[in-house]
Amino acid sequence: MFSIGKIFGHDEKFYDLLEASAQQADSSVHHLIDLLAKLEKSESTSDLAAFAESRREDKRITQQLTEELSKTFITPLEREDIQALAATLYKIPKTVEKIGERLLICPEDLHGHNFRRQVELLDQAAEVVVAMVRQLRKGTDIHTAREMNARLQTIEGDADKLELELLRDLYHGDYSAQHVIFLRDLYDLLEKVIDRCRDAGNVIVQVVLKYA
């Protein structure tokens, strides 16, 4: 049985900060779902405040975690593990915000394109990341960590297959060059943010292996 308490001692603030960071990542995905729902209904919107707030809050959490590490006695190896996970988690809302920005550049080019399946996969990936981070507080064994990480790998594989299908349609369809560039950019960012979730899962598994 692994317990992150071996790394953090009995100080709950590190659990709190990592879980808060993971929750901001998940919240950013929900903001994306809401934005796409509005755009599908042709509701006029240019508001990215919710995305920016999640990203800024996660940055604040990451900075606070770094400050707490500087005041707490932790071995250099353990410090690297914590910072690696915090940095990876922060990249999720940061990348999701970029997706929101791109969507609002040419919302009219979304007509006839449904991103529901990609966002469903992203939502699933973010939920797994939140669950894996929460398991660190409770304590987890390598079998459980690997099972959860395998779920992330499956989601990533499904997302890759879906992107390939969408690209095939895009390159063989009757689209303008602008439309192709716009959609390709969105597909790339959606793939990247799912990869960020996978990266977080990989970091957690490495931590579990190291401190088991």
DSSP state of 47: -
pLDDT of 172 over the 50 cut = yes
pLDDT tens digit sequence for 122-156? 999 999 999 999 998 887 789 999 999 999 999 99
If pLDDT is split at 50, 70 and 90, which confidence band does 24 have? very high
Torsional sign, CA 28, 205, 145, 69: negative
- Domain segments of the chain as ranges: 9-211
Write down the pLDDT at residue 127.
97
**Helix residue ranges per DSSP H, the chain:** 5-8, 12-40, 49-70, 76-105, 116-138, 142-172, 177-211
CATH architecture of the domain covering 9-211: Up-down Bundle (1.20)
Record the pTM.
Answer: 0.88
CA–CA gap between residue 151 and residue 137 (Å, rounded)? 20
Distance of CA 171 to the CA centre of its chain: 28
